[in-house]
A and B are shown apart, each in its own frame.
Chain A
Amino acid sequence: MAALTPVSLSPDSTSPDSTSPVSPGAVPVTARRRRPRYWRGAVLTVAGLYFLTPLISSFVFTVHVPGQGLTFAAYSGILSADGFTESLFLSLSLAAATIALALLLVVPALVAVRLGPPRLRAVVEIVCMLPLVVPPIALVTGIATVLRWGPDHFSRTPLYQTFLAVQNESFPVVLVLAYTVLALPFVHRSLDAGLRAVDVPTLVEAARNCGAGRLYVILRVILPNLRSSLAGASFLTLALVLGEYTVASLLGFRPFAVWIVSVSGAEARMSVAVSLLSLLITWALLLVLSRAGSGPAAGAPAAGATSGGAAASAAAAASGATSGPAASAAAAASGTATTASAAPTPVPGKE
């Protein structure tokens, strides 16, 4: 078999050549790194001021009452405020339902696309990203039109009852549907990043080879490996639902964000205090999440790091969602904005 030995020798002979150019290149890299450190501090300072100034101003506004000095009444009064518990509970239950629906839609779709023809991957991605380019105001106008138009056309069918049921004040299913659409891009991004780090076809085949059925494979093999990206997707959806104002307000419902704006007229300080608290809680959650994603508990470091990164990169979107009502609440509190935009527009279809 001597004739065959050169085959196995060849990889060894090439390896020293490929590694040698790396070490001399290492020195200029560290030298080049020196300069940006200076700029990094400057950029960080500017960005920090940009983010912290409004927050600190808001905080000062909530605790400093002209003539009375320092008081924490705005914070202590939150729990007993009229409508706080109901609206927060409504938002949390809407968030739970939205998370469940979005994950139920996206997880099987993405797993199927990974196992099936690659062409479908692009289709699913485009469909999931569409809500990013459609402004929520366009979405809510469409929904309002359908809600108005629906009962006239279906008044003699069982669908009429459905139209009424989805608009139930205590749990408006129509908001869950709308929020699921809005959450699709974030859920897709987070899960796609997680799935990218996992060799889905091989794991599925390995599990099938061990005797597992299809459902068992999804529940016991795929989902555990997506743990951190599932957490990321859920968190982003929670942040989105807690902070969503436009759709809920225009359809005439009163979840948390709408409540914050509506109390801002009478209780300006409390409204800003609630916004601040919700921002802090959101950030704390994000911090916990990115820690959990990068820790060894995630099992696969690659998967954890990727989805942790995805969650961090999507943090901008999340803070955008939460700062929406916070900003509008702060604006309302400072007296520059009128309550006109906050007043729920009556939807004809609802009457």
Chain B
Amino acid sequence: MSALPVPPAAAAGHRDPARPAAAAGPSPDAAKAAGGAPSAAGARVEFRALRRAFGPTVALDGLDLTAEPGELLALLGPSGCGKTTALRVLAGFEQPDSGEVLVDGEDITRVPANRRDAGMVFQSYSLFPHLNARDNVAFGLRVRKVSAAERYATAAELLDLVGLPDHGGRFPHQMSGGQQQRVALARALALRPRVLLLDEPLSALDAKVRLTLREEIRRLQLSLGITTIFVTHDQEEALSMADRVAVLNAGRLEQCAPPAELYERPATAFVAEFVGTMNRLPGRLTGTGSVEVAGRTLPVLPADGEVPGGSGPVEVLIRPEGVRVEADPEGTATVVSASFLGSVTRVLLDLPDGVAVKADLASRDAADLLPGVRARVTPVPRPVLVVGKAATA
């Protein structure tokens, strides 16, 4: 596989027909495209107060979000949270009711989809069934009336880039799902777009192909330096690939942060529970900033920008790896099951008041935690998030 993206000269050549101004002479745009591919590719994308409703359903409820130049931003959320709508608004397939979309400061909200300069890979297989892989990749260049020799050279280069150098003559129905999505990726890159949009491109693939393609997309994105927006409902995918992950809920942004921060310091209870696995343990607030849970007093993290005050019963959110379990005949918890997952064993326990707890332990520490064994559960002393009882109803 060639490590090089499309050569800058070819890039300038086939961008020109779409922009008559650039064809006339060395306009700033042509210079930008010819001068350095990465800088031309890395655009800043901004959503400003986007609102879109479908009848009574509000898909986007004032979304504010910025993707920095060259970054891979994942939009993550449950189905119906508006992530796909946001991407479709950016691609020009949906019009927002209000708000605007900016690419490099330029308002493109009313620009038709075919002049958006954003390459997209779709969730379902979207290759043109009547064209072979080479013609699929070259389709956009043909629309822009690029000469046959040039567009086939570009297509061959891109097919090489996505690891399918020998598949140019194959039709979509002769390729596997993973290969089709690679060709779709090459097609999306053929016009040297400023932004790459990925709408759950891996969700139709089987687990193994998904893993390898995920890594390849990320590698390609890094080498091209293209701003990429990746919609997914698979948190593992989002956390492993993205520079930053934006968690959406009910059309609003809950939190946008690098994966580790999202996992370790969720800004809201929704993010805390949506990303990764979370236990809800009963606890009691003991004054501002601390909570008592399972016999320990832990500091409380601010949620939604506020540290909960007062005192009273709350639920404490703790990750499975934030729970320590020791076999103890005097303990109050009972082991329900233990699943061996390699280096880690996930143990399910029941607390006396019917609360179920998941704990991830190093497998060598979990050897004697067999179903039915009494155990003692203690939280790791780390700051935790709490949610009010009322909010959980």
Q: Which residues of B contact A7 (CB under 8 A)?
A: 234, 236
Q: Which residues of B contact A206 (CB under 8 A)?
A: 120, 122, 126-128, 184, 187
Tell me if B129 is interfacial: C-beta within 8 Å of chain A. Answer: yes
Cα–Cα distance between A221 and B135 once the two chains are bound (Å): 12
Tell me if B285 is interfacial: C-beta within 8 Å of chain A. Answer: no
Task: Classify chain A's interface size.
Answer: 20 to 34
Tell me if B171 is interfacial: C-beta within 8 Å of chain A. Answer: yes
Q: Is B114's CB under 8 angstroms from A213's CB?
A: yes
Tell me if B91 is interfacial: C-beta within 8 Å of chain A. Answer: yes
Q: Is B191's CB under 8 angstroms from A211's CB?
A: yes
Q: Which residues of B contact A212 (CB under 8 A)?
A: 114, 139-140, 143
Tell me if B92 is interfacial: C-beta within 8 Å of chain A. Answer: yes
CB 8 Å contact bits of A1-34 with B (1 = contact, 0 = none): 1111111110110000000000000000000000
Interface residues of A in 205-220 (CB under 8 A from B): 205-213, 216
Q: Is B188's CB under 8 angstroms from A3's CB?
A: no
Interface residues of A in 67-85 (CB under 8 A from B): none
Tell me if B113 is interfacial: C-beta within 8 Å of chain A. Answer: yes
Q: Which residues of A contact B339 (CB under 8 A)?
A: 6
A294 to chain B: closest CB distance in Å? 13
Q: Is A209's CB under 8 angstroms from B120's CB?
A: yes
Q: Please pick, from B91, B115, B122, B240, the residue contacting A202 in the complex, using a CB distance under 8 A.
A: B122
Given A205-B122, A208-B92, A212-B143, CB of A6 within 8 Å of CB of B114:
no
A331 to chain B: closest CB distance in Å? 46
Q: Please pick, from A2, A203, A210, the residue contacting B143 in the complex, using a CB distance under 8 A.
A: A210
Cα–Cα distance between A260 and B278 once the two chains are bound (Å): 83
Q: Is A3's CB under 8 angstroms from B277's CB?
A: yes
Tell me if A302 is interfacial: C-beta within 8 Å of chain B. Answer: yes
Given A2-B343, A205-B126, CB of A210 within 8 Å of CB of B207:
no
Cα–Cα distance between A126 and B113 once the two chains are bound (Å): 33
Given A7-B236, A11-B207, CB of A303 within 8 Å of CB of B129:
yes
Q: Which residues of A contact B143 (CB under 8 A)?
A: 210-212, 216
Cα–Cα distance between A8 and B205 once the two chains are bound (Å): 12
Give the most central of A8, A206, A221: most B CB within 10 Å: A206
Cα–Cα distance between A66 and B360 once the two chains are bound (Å): 99
Give the most central of A203, A210, A227: most B CB within 10 Å: A210
Interface residues of B in 70-126 (CB under 8 A from A): 91-93, 112-116, 118-120, 122, 124-126
Tell me if B364 is interfacial: C-beta within 8 Å of chain A. Answer: no
Cα–Cα distance between A208 and B187 once the two chains are bound (Å): 12
Tell me if A224 is interfacial: C-beta within 8 Å of chain B. Answer: yes
Cα–Cα distance between A12 and B341 once the two chains are bound (Å): 14
B354 to chain A: closest CB distance in Å? 23
Cα–Cα distance between A207 and B184 once the two chains are bound (Å): 11
The 4 closest A-B pairs by CB, nearest first: A210-B140, A300-B129, A299-B130, A2-B344
Given A2-B341, A6-B339, A213-B114, CB of A208 within 8 Å of CB of B93:
yes
Given contacts A7-B234, A205-B91, A210-B187, 12 further A-B contacts (CB under 8 A): A2-B342, A2-B360, A4-B277, A8-B207, A8-B236, A12-B207, A199-B125, A199-B126, A205-B93, A208-B114, A209-B188, A210-B143
B357 to chain A: closest CB distance in Å? 13
Tell me if B63 is interfacial: C-beta within 8 Å of chain A. Answer: no
Q: Please pick, from B128, B341, B343, B344, the residue contacting A203 in the complex, using a CB distance under 8 A.
A: B128
Given A3-B321, A211-B114, A213-B114, CB of A202 within 8 Å of CB of B124:
yes
CB 8 Å contact bits of A288-303 with B (1 = contact, 0 = none): 0000000000011111
Q: Please pick, from A5, A202, A216, A302, the residue contacting B173 in the complex, using a CB distance under 8 A.
A: A302
Q: Is A300's CB under 8 angstroms from B130's CB?
A: yes
Given A209-B114, A211-B18, CB of A3 within 8 Å of CB of B320:
yes
Tally B residues with Cβ within 8 Å of A.
52
In the complex, which residue of chain B has the Cβ closest to the Cβ of A227?
B130
Q: Which residues of B contact A224 (CB under 8 A)?
A: 128, 130
CB 8 Å contact bits of A277-319 with B (1 = contact, 0 = none): 0000000000000000000000111110000000000000000
Given A12-B207, A208-B93, CB of A3 within 8 Å of CB of B319:
yes
Q: Is B173's CB under 8 angstroms from A4's CB?
A: no
Q: Is B341's CB under 8 angstroms from A5's CB?
A: yes
CB 8 Å contact bits of B162-179 with A (1 = contact, 0 = none): 000000000111000000
Give the most central of B126, B188, B341: most A CB within 10 Å: B126
Q: Which residues of A contact B240 (CB under 8 A)?
A: 1
A327 to chain B: closest CB distance in Å? 40
26 A–B pairs (Cβ distance < 8 Å), ordered by A: A1-B239, A1-B240, A2-B321, A3-B276, A3-B277, A3-B360, A6-B346, A7-B234, A8-B207, A199-B124, A203-B128, A206-B122, A206-B187, A208-B93, A208-B113, A209-B91, A209-B114, A209-B118, A209-B120, A209-B188, A210-B191, A212-B140, A299-B129, A299-B130, A299-B131, A302-B173
Cα–Cα distance between A221 and B130 once the two chains are bound (Å): 8
Q: Is B113's CB under 8 angstroms from A205's CB?
A: yes
Cα–Cα distance between A303 and B172 once the two chains are bound (Å): 13
B320 to chain A: closest CB distance in Å? 5
Q: Which residues of B contact A6 (CB under 8 A)?
A: 339, 341, 346
Q: Is A211's CB under 8 angstroms from B319's CB?
A: no
Q: Which residues of A contact B126 (CB under 8 A)?
A: 199, 202-203, 205-206
Q: Which residues of A contact B130 (CB under 8 A)?
A: 224-225, 227, 299-300
Tell me if B32 is interfacial: C-beta within 8 Å of chain A. Answer: no
Cα–Cα distance between A224 and B92 once the two chains are bound (Å): 25
B148 to chain A: closest CB distance in Å? 15
A199 to chain B: closest CB distance in Å? 6
Q: Is A4's CB under 8 angstroms from B276's CB?
A: yes
Tell me if A198 is interfacial: C-beta within 8 Å of chain B. Answer: yes
Q: Which residues of B contact A208 (CB under 8 A)?
A: 92-93, 112-114
Q: Is A198's CB under 8 angstroms from B129's CB?
A: yes
Cα–Cα distance between A48 and B139 once the two chains are bound (Å): 50
Q: Is B319's CB under 8 angstroms from A209's CB?
A: no
Tell me if B376 is interfacial: C-beta within 8 Å of chain A. Answer: no
Tell me if B232 is interfacial: C-beta within 8 Å of chain A. Answer: no
Q: Which residues of B contact A2 (CB under 8 A)?
A: 321, 341-344, 360
Tell me if B144 is interfacial: C-beta within 8 Å of chain A. Answer: yes
Interface residues of B in 221-244 (CB under 8 A from A): 234-236, 239-240
